[in-house]
Structure 1
Amino acid sequence: MKHWLFLAVSIVSEVVATSAMKSSYGFTKLVPSLIVVTGYAVAFYFLSLTLKTIPVGIAYAIWAGLGIVLIGVIGWIFHGQKLDLPAVLGMGLILLGVIIINVFSKTSGH
């Protein structure tokens, strides 16, 4: 069960880092830039721990899929970025894919 916690930490760290990237203004702002670098370092470290148990394709699909959806939501809420119907439907399909992997796949490290 620890591998799922590692994956969650990795996803949250990646989302924080990517969110801070917009605020770094091309790495010209020190604090957001440090958050980006630290967040990605933590994300990749915990992703590497996850890969000891969960196959790389499954872990990366979950990591990337949830990251895409969370970044889309954060961009919408905090940066005023618009999400049209196709974007919302696409993110819904990504979430559905993550759910299908976790519920039905025998290779997801359950």
Structure 2
Amino acid sequence: MGAYLLLILAIVSEVFGSSMLKITNGFKNLFPSLGVIVGYGIAFYALSLSLKTLPLGVAYAIWAGVGTALTAIVGIIIYKEEFNNKKLFGLVLIIFGVILLNMGGTH
């Protein structure tokens, strides 16, 4: 599996795990709690495999930035959290930050 596909798997798994945190009730609800554990387990495993070929700084920036943006979007869509211009601006900054880091190359 390609490094970027592994990174995508890591991002999706992390977003799933983070999204499940909201409904674990302090890890008192079994299935959402298992979702957190499995989601983060897959995320870190896939991220570690992607790092065999991707530079650490670039991979982590993509993983953290895209994961944060997608988790915020899940919060807005699934959990009906407030969406306003400040959140939109923050999401745009995250996306542009990831783009700029990738344009920086690996020198």
Shared fold per TM-score greater than 0.5: yes
Q: Which TM-score bucket, shorter chain as reference?
A: over 0.9
Q: For 1:25, give the aligned amino acid.
A: N
1:41 aligns to what?
41
The answer to whether residue 74 in structure 2 is matched with residue 77 in structure 1 is no
Per-residue CA distance 1:6-47 (angstroms, 9 max, x = gap): 000000000000001111111010000001001100000000
Unpaired runs of 5+ residues, structure 2, are none
- Aligned residue for 2:22, secondary structure, equals helix
* Structure 1: 4+ residue segments shifted above 2 A: 99-102
Cα deviation for residue 98 of structure 1 reads 1.7
- When normalised by structure 1's length, the TM-score is 0.90
Identical-residue share of aligned pairs (%): 46
| CA RMSD between the two structures | 1.5
- When normalised by structure 2's length, the TM-score is 0.93
2:93 aligns to what?
93
User: Which residues of 2 match residues 1-40 of structure 1 at below 5 A?
Assistant: 2-40=2-40
Q: For 2:101, give the aligned amino acid.
A: I
Aligned length, in residue pairs: 107
